[in-house]
A = this chain, B = another copy of it.
Amino acid sequence: MTELIHDIDKLRGRVTEYRRGGRSIGLVPTMGALHEGHLSLIRHARNENDRVVVTIFVNPTQYDDPSDLKRYPRTLAADFEKAEESGADLVFHPEAEAIYADDYRFKVIETDFSRELEGAHRDGHFDGVLTVVLKLLNIIQADRAYFGEKDWQQLRLVRDMAAAFFHPTEIISCPTIREADGLALSSRNVHLTPDERTLAPEFHRVLSSRSTAREMEQQLVDAGFAVDYVEQCGDRILGAVRIGKLRLIDNVQL
């Protein structure tokens, strides 16, 4: 029986019970609108821990665009069912007012990598991400927390933050899940029109083409995308493009 908890104190009480029994805890933080990418994280957590906590929280502080926040799909009943089928013991769905009882006076910031790539296009985005992740890590006190490689810059920042703050939770990454045509799963994909959906997989195809970043950028523009960036970062190519009102990000290993 999967449990749904909204209240932070109640959640902490349940987590304390888990720990008292010596059970390991896996955490999968999500913003809901769960797709196969999230479910693969939950299954990973299920395999490696005695208890699995899935959080569903659309984090307002990581949006610089209020209309994007408003448009983000909210599907709690369906999410709960999917989380349950994938092996979650507990779904935690807190209120923004409870998570930000301090009115976001306290933040975690990163002064270097978080300002590049996504950070250069979404003001304050990673401050919001890092802050909410640290709050969730502290509330759930998990042994392991699972993040997808799709949001590669986020994954690296979260991992570095946990190391910088000596957080006891281990950060574990899982591969990006894709449609058969290569499009990375994303909660935002539901907003693609049929024409846009036909174009979208070109993004991943180009990123996988082993051209230079500049050539990829040109190929993407030629295909019909507006390109925010295509950049090599270590052994990865990371990109962000726009189709109509929608923004897609993806990355592949070189």
Contact = CB atoms under 8 A, between A and B. Distances in A.
A246 interface: no
List the number of copies, as a whole number: 2
Interface string A39-51: 0000000000000
Given A105-B110, A108-B107, A110-B106, A138 B160 contact: no
B107 A111 contact: yes
Given A101-B163, A102-B160, A163-B102, A138 B168 contact: yes
A43 to B, nearest CB: 27
A166 B9 CA distance: 10
Nearest to A130: B106
A141 B166 CA distance: 10
Contact of A106 (B106, B135, B160): B160
The range of chain A's interface size is: 20 to 34
Contacts of A112: 105
Interface centre among A130, A135, A165, A168 (most CB of B within 10 A): A165
Q: Does more than half of chain A's interface fall in helix, strand or loop, or is it mixed?
A: mixed
A106 B166 contact: no
Given A105-B112, A105-B113, A106-B164, 9 more contacts: A101-B164, A106-B110, A106-B161, A107-B108, A108-B108, A134-B165, A135-B164, A138-B165, A141-B168
Interface of A: 8, 12, 101-102, 104-113, 130, 134-135, 138-139, 141, 160-161, 163-168
